[in-house]
Structure 1
């Protein structure tokens, strides 16, 4: 109770005081102020996004770009759903999906590494001690895990544990009303058994590990990180993030389970779930694994509006500093955003995604992300249609938000049309002519 009161007081303070005048804080400007052509930007971005909506890549989207510390573009397009009842607005809140990995789990892990409470090259089992009994996992390091080099399986469908063979919900795990044993809320009238997380951990413990150490994207340990962070800090995962990052950064919409918080901002819906929730998913996390943890996870579950995301990415791009406050040492940030295993054809940093190793040599169709980004750049994508990227060399932060999974995750034209990279490229090619 005291913690919640303290957080409330701090939140009021940051809300009332508003933006700082520090030079390391994002402010608003025009493309021309940073040497870019606003007319060309609007023309090309509008064309790409409009085509995406027409091709049903998404019903609506939002783009924010900050360059040289100035937000020079922030536009909303289309609608929340294809019925066109609610237009997208620039302060709408989105389900970030796997962008959660670098905006929730990762900052906590980075801080603990910075403080010497986690070490990248020690066995992860030194901290997650239940792995000491697992011969295939006891020697895996945190560095290997964060760079997706550990050989872990990509995904376990934990929803299979709560749905029976006939598609019904197992009452031993799911209730429609809360009680002492079922207090973790999954959706409006769905509550998961409190200790279901332990079943998830056991299945992760017993999962296979490939002996071929190469890049295979896996989100399994990000389901573990919240519990590990709580064990190390003696503070709940979401409280730790609020206190150390979201409140001091003044990012009020950034957090978990927004349906419980009464925001005036609209929350953009995701998929019409025909398997588990049997309704349009809105205000609760789309990812089923995160939902079975009560919506508070490290793999998915974070929500935010674009400007809040931009502050966090700007802090990373400034190597751990924002508004005069240092969140991590410069050395820690540079280590995490560095490619870890290039000799194994693995482009990844520690938690952060990176450009393809030969990205600058590729066409837009083959590159990831835009071929013009610097090799020092970093970010992450999300399954729901989200994407964030920061480029220290070009001092550019790029935020793309959409709900491409509406009404169904079968809508994949966001990928086939390469929309996120195409929009990003515009801001590298829109340099004002000096003629």
Structure 2
């Protein structure tokens, strides 16, 4: 014993200064009123009620009536001081809480183990990520905000004391009970995180609690099942395990939970829990560290405690050791009786009892229980699932994701045109959110097999393999290891393929890796929540940067603090409106307008997308493929874009040639197409033509001349029902046009008359001419050119001409039942007759796509020609084409791009900036980008189905009404 006391003096005497200087964290701002209230309450209490105030009893909000009755009896008979809620749901808890508070003469101090906040989301058990995930974050302001918002959750639910944060320094990867609950193994990082969390939560008016004193981080047994041992000397415990407590106590920590641990270097009694140790609680925590807040025992029902044969003995020992609150006694009635006996026997003085009871009452005053109000049950679910919590959750995950290996800078993925990517799922949990998000960026195939050799054979077709390791996100104690089979498969896949491993589990999983030599990229995503999956996919493609660092050392390859920072490639990411200064609530109005259009049969279906600041914040689908079908519109369905083809295919190819100096806007068409030298169009410049200011006819009904004049059916002179070398242009299913007819169309255009006078007149003809020029220059078809130059590298894998040749009909939205030309349903074939007669590849029409891909191209324009780490155009090129050269002549058009109206009527809501640009399409499509508000808006529809008819969609301004709602939703 003498040597123990010497050791204590050596290692803890330096802390004496703390006891002299630390402040009382339970004092309120009005200490006079607080003291009066505390004294007045204390003076009304009987001895039994004073002792009852020491007890915090466990309550389940889903308990049966018998159990609830027992709790009520404890409250009435003993005036117990508090309750701790465990199992149940928030609404049931609020109702029960009001009932229990209603029968208590003195308001109950309500506590919870809400370490990660409270949530009733369908896709997440917890409101916020686990501490280990937070430990990877560099920005501690985010951690403070977590504490703040968890405090707000608690306060809304009537919880006054939250048993958080865990400040255990987890230096043992095999720790079964702390692990993900710890901020990590670095004492400074843990301390900074815990301090930020504490400050945030207490700023919301909720008492914080640091646990588990003196430190639970290096154990290999579960304290709920036995008594773990911390077998370090006092110096080590002082410098590591206790380090966070010293800092937090100085900054006003409200309470400490003492752990259920055996600490031989601090307690001489063999196998004696720290939660019952007078030396650990009174000598060290209170006297040496100077802690004046609430001292709370760990659950008194913990296993592995010897020498306490009679019920209530543990309660008495816990109080004698220095605890103020006795947590989860096995039998509070017996415990109160034991402590009462000890009081009368002189083992407990009135002064000692008063000390703890008045601390508890001070805490009650500080959290406002002197003016207790019942919990408002209405709207509780919404209040615990706020948009601001979603915003913070996403911020946290984005800041936590950690790249720990990046051989040859494989991450983020670049040059998508060279990538053939497979996804292989490992683990026992769902990875669908990850896969779906990956598919937003490029073509990804999930590869499965029952046998390894079959899998390896399938993977030979790919040059990049993304392996997602998905373990359950249900709670932080779930299994996290690789199986032996998974490790074997991982090594073999990596031996023969370029591999990115993404682990959606606690970092210790990487300890299972015996080698990482053949794995090019490794990402630690920490949790398998939907948001973690989505954000990690975004990181892989450079839509968001990698910022995190490992909170713990892992195996032989990774050390605490490791983390490779990568800058984003300016690809679209996906988030919620509030993260880019928009209102989710206001954007919901779009749903009503879109549904109105569906209900009033303006179009069978709609795809809608809105992006701001490079982030997609609204992407919804409405209606069905047709009015009578059962096929609901999905994000993977593609639409005939009609005239959007002009700015998404032909124009970028022409801009590329202009930027390279091959052509100038002031060049004449006849300079590049000699046949026009004798034409009435010989002096028309590209600028005039693309600005629709060249006296060209709006369109020519080429198909009409190929119909039988009597039957109005396709004439046998021009069509066959089967393919041949002379009839090889497939205008519709089993309908082939003569192969020489496109040349005739070019001649018809060249020889066509000009309009009588120069004025703005929208025309498709410039794009027939441009197509011929571009294809002649490259000696390659337009559809191949635009794929090679743009779509493949942009990851626009759902953008194509003639989709009937490439994808199944199920994902192609039909555009029309053609009863005047092809006499069939048009699905996957271009709706525009002129483009159909060019084998589906028109300069003015023919491209199919979904809203997500259209947004990528528009975002590239918005970003002045840069996207995904590649510069497609110089900024000055974008500006040159996005200029209205003839505005002074009542022509709003840019070069290729449509521009906002110059007067009241026009293509936009009138609420966009004059630097904005876009285009619309005959089938009901619309795409618009606004550099000043940093917005991309895409609207896809098949309003032409089943028949073209009156364009009610346009007449009712559905697209521009939605555009106005988008702008109305901007709040920042």
- Check whether TM > 0.5: yes
How do 1:85-164 and structure 2 match up within 5 A?
A: 85-134=630-679, 136-164=680-708
| Matched residue SS, 2:595 | helix
Check if 1:194 corresponds to 2:739.
yes
TM-score, normalised with respect to structure 2: 0.42
Check if 1:37 corresponds to 2:445.
no
Check if 1:248 corresponds to 2:793.
yes
Task: Kindly indicate whether the alpha-carbon contact (under 8 Å) linking 2:416 and 2:793 is maintained by their aligned counterparts in 1.
Answer: no
Relative to 1, partners in 2 of residues 1:201 and 1:344: Cα closer, same or farther, differing over 3 Å? same
How do 1:399-410 and structure 2 match up within 5 A?
A: 399-410=938-949
Give me the CA root mean square deviation: 1.8
Task: Kindly indicate whether the alpha-carbon contact (under 8 Å) linking 1:387 and 1:420 is maintained by their aligned counterparts in 2.
Answer: yes
Partner of 1:382 in structure 2? 921
Query: 1 CA distance for matches of 2:781 and 2:652?
Result: 15
Query: 2 CA distance for matches of 1:371 and 1:9?
Result: 38
How do 1:317-356 and structure 2 match up within 5 A?
A: 317-356=862-901
Q: CA deviation at 1:264?
A: 7.9
Query: 1 CA distance for matches of 2:970 and 2:836?
Result: 44
Q: CA deviation at 1:246?
A: 0.5
Q: CA deviation at 1:40?
A: 1.8
Q: Where does the alignment leave 5 or more consecutive residues of structure 1 unmatched? A: 1-6
Q: CA deviation at 1:120?
A: 0.9
Greater fraction helix: 2
Query: 2 CA distance for matches of 1:248 and 1:377?
Result: 25
Query: 1 CA distance for matches of 2:725 and 2:833?
Result: 22
Q: CA deviation at 1:11?
A: 5.6
User: With CA pairs under 8 Å and 6+ residues apart, which has the higher RCO, 1 or 2?
Assistant: 1
Partner of 1:10 in structure 2? 418
Q: CA deviation at 1:15?
A: 3.5
Task: Kindly indicate whether the alpha-carbon contact (under 8 Å) linking 1:57 and 1:411 is maintained by their aligned counterparts in 2.
Answer: no
Partner of 1:3 in structure 2? none
Query: 1 CA distance for matches of 2:417 and 2:687?
Result: 37
Check if 1:290 corresponds to 2:835.
yes
Check if 1:422 corresponds to 2:961.
yes
Relative to 1, partners in 2 of residues 1:52 and 1:397: Cα closer, same or farther, differing over 3 Å? same
Q: CA deviation at 1:279?
A: 1.7
Partner of 1:4 in structure 2? none
Task: Kindly indicate whether the alpha-carbon contact (under 8 Å) linking 1:158 and 1:289 is maintained by their aligned counterparts in 2.
Answer: yes
Q: CA deviation at 1:139?
A: 0.6
| Matched residue SS, 1:294 | coil
Task: Kindly indicate whether the alpha-carbon contact (under 8 Å) linking 2:801 and 2:841 is maintained by their aligned counterparts in 1.
Answer: yes
Task: Kindly indicate whether the alpha-carbon contact (under 8 Å) linking 2:586 and 2:968 is maintained by their aligned counterparts in 1.
Answer: no
Deviations 1:291-321 (A, max 9, x none): 0011011110000111111100000011111
Deviations 1:35-88 (A, max 9, x none): 11102211x111111111122111111110000010000000011111142111
| Matched residue SS, 1:248 | helix
Query: 2 CA distance for matches of 1:94 and 1:195?
Result: 29
Relative to 1, partners in 2 of residues 1:256 and 1:8: Cα closer, same or farther, differing over 3 Å? farther
Query: 1 CA distance for matches of 2:573 and 2:684?
Result: 43
Partner of 2:617 in structure 1? 72
| Matched residue SS, 2:918 | strand
Task: Kindly indicate whether the alpha-carbon contact (under 8 Å) linking 1:11 and 1:252 is maintained by their aligned counterparts in 2.
Answer: no
Deviations 1:153-198 (A, max 9, x none): 1110001121021112222221111111112211120111111111
Partner of 1:52 in structure 2? 597
Task: Kindly indicate whether the alpha-carbon contact (under 8 Å) linking 2:569 and 2:867 is maintained by their aligned counterparts in 1.
Answer: no
Mark the structure with the bigger radius of gyration.
2
Q: CA deviation at 1:277?
A: 1.7
| Matched residue SS, 2:643 | helix
Match of 1:395 among 913, 934, 939: 934
Relative to 1, partners in 2 of residues 1:36 and 1:281: Cα closer, same or farther, differing over 3 Å? same
Q: CA deviation at 1:262?
A: 2.4
Task: Kindly indicate whether the alpha-carbon contact (under 8 Å) linking 1:272 and 1:278 is maintained by their aligned counterparts in 2.
Answer: yes
Deviations 1:265-305 (A, max 9, x none): 61001111001221211111000000001101111000011
Query: 1 CA distance for matches of 2:718 and 2:647?
Result: 30
Partner of 2:573 in structure 1? 27
Task: Kindly indicate whether the alpha-carbon contact (under 8 Å) linking 2:417 and 2:793 is maintained by their aligned counterparts in 1.
Answer: no
Task: Kindly indicate whether the alpha-carbon contact (under 8 Å) linking 2:641 and 2:847 is maintained by their aligned counterparts in 1.
Answer: yes
Partner of 2:910 in structure 1? 371
Task: Kindly indicate whether the alpha-carbon contact (under 8 Å) linking 2:706 and 2:714 is maintained by their aligned counterparts in 1.
Answer: yes
| Matched residue SS, 1:82 | coil
Query: 2 CA distance for matches of 1:228 and 1:94?
Result: 27
Query: 2 CA distance for matches of 1:211 and 1:241?
Result: 35
Query: 1 CA distance for matches of 2:653 and 2:579?
Result: 35
Partner of 2:762 in structure 1? 217
Q: CA deviation at 1:146?
A: 0.2
How do 1:228-247 and structure 2 match up within 5 A?
A: 228-247=773-792
Query: 2 CA distance for matches of 1:226 and 1:137?
Result: 16
Partner of 2:806 in structure 1? 261
Task: Kindly indicate whether the alpha-carbon contact (under 8 Å) linking 1:404 and 1:411 is maintained by their aligned counterparts in 2.
Answer: no
Task: Kindly indicate whether the alpha-carbon contact (under 8 Å) linking 1:56 and 1:411 is maintained by their aligned counterparts in 2.
Answer: no
TM-score, normalised with respect to structure 1: 0.93
Q: CA deviation at 1:9?
A: 7.4
Q: CA deviation at 1:8?
A: 11
Task: Kindly indicate whether the alpha-carbon contact (under 8 Å) linking 1:11 and 1:247 is maintained by their aligned counterparts in 2.
Answer: no
Relative to 1, partners in 2 of residues 1:376 and 1:8: Cα closer, same or farther, differing over 3 Å? closer
| Matched residue SS, 1:97 | coil
Q: CA deviation at 1:235?
A: 2.4
Query: 2 CA distance for matches of 1:333 and 1:260?
Result: 33
Relative to 1, partners in 2 of residues 1:264 and 1:404: Cα closer, same or farther, differing over 3 Å? closer
How many residues of Structure 1 are paired with residues of Structure 2 in the alignment?
419
Query: 2 CA distance for matches of 1:235 and 1:357?
Result: 39
| Matched residue SS, 1:269 | coil
Partner of 2:324 in structure 1? none
| Matched residue SS, 1:372 | coil
Query: 1 CA distance for matches of 2:633 and 2:723?
Result: 34
| Matched residue SS, 2:655 | helix
Query: 2 CA distance for matches of 1:155 and 1:421?
Result: 25
